[in-house]
Amino acid sequence: MATRAQGDRDVALNELAFRGISINATTNDASPTVYASDSGILFINKYAGTTTYTLPAVEDCAGKIFYFMSYVANNLVIAGASGDAVIVGGNTSAGIVGATVTLTGVIGGHGYIIGDGTNYYFFAGTGTWTYST
């Protein structure tokens, strides 16, 4: 195994900087689309019902990061684009792969997703997050 040199990385998170906030207001949209150019944006959900954010194609998202936060006690769902898996955890042999991750009605619940061009990786903050295939 080769030794890792300082600065070596598989995917550059060159857009990691926080770039702004997008608020989905109470009457906006139950199914917002997230675009690759939205990397670095915090999506705050205030919609008065279950909201499903659909991610862009993972191959367009190497080094992209998307933040999500719920302002209301409604479900917040993050879905991979058609056929794209979201890796949400796992054990020593494999990650748990799902099609969606869901925050179940928790005010202030948050999490973020990072893409590497092949997979999305989900990192839960606060709240109860579940996944489905």
- The pLDDT value recorded for residue 82 is 82
- The pLDDT value recorded for residue 129 is 84
- Least confident segment among 41-50, 64-73, 82-91, 92-101: 92-101
86-90: strand order across its sheet = 20-24, 41-45, 65-70, 110-115, 120-124, 86-90, 95-98
Both tokens of 130, joined, read: 């579940």
- The pLDDT value recorded for residue 1 is 47
- The pLDDT value recorded for residue 87 is 79
Judge contact between 116 and 95, C-beta under 8 A. Answer: no
**For residue 65, how far is the Cα from the chain centroid?**
7
The yes-or-no verdict on residue 7 having pLDDT over 80 is: no
Average pLDDT value for residue range 27-55: 90
CA neighbor of 13 nearest in space, from 121, 131, 96, 125: 121
> What mean pLDDT, rounded, does the chain reach?
82
Give the DSSP letter of residue 62. T
Overall pTM > 0.75:
yes
pLDDT digits (tens, 9 = 90+) for 75-123: 999 998 887 878 776 554 455 667 888 899 899 999 999 998 988 889 9
Judge contact between 68 and 101, C-beta under 8 A. Answer: no
| Structural domains of the chain, with CATH | 20-132 (2.60.120)
The yes-or-no verdict on residue 53 having pLDDT over 80 is: yes
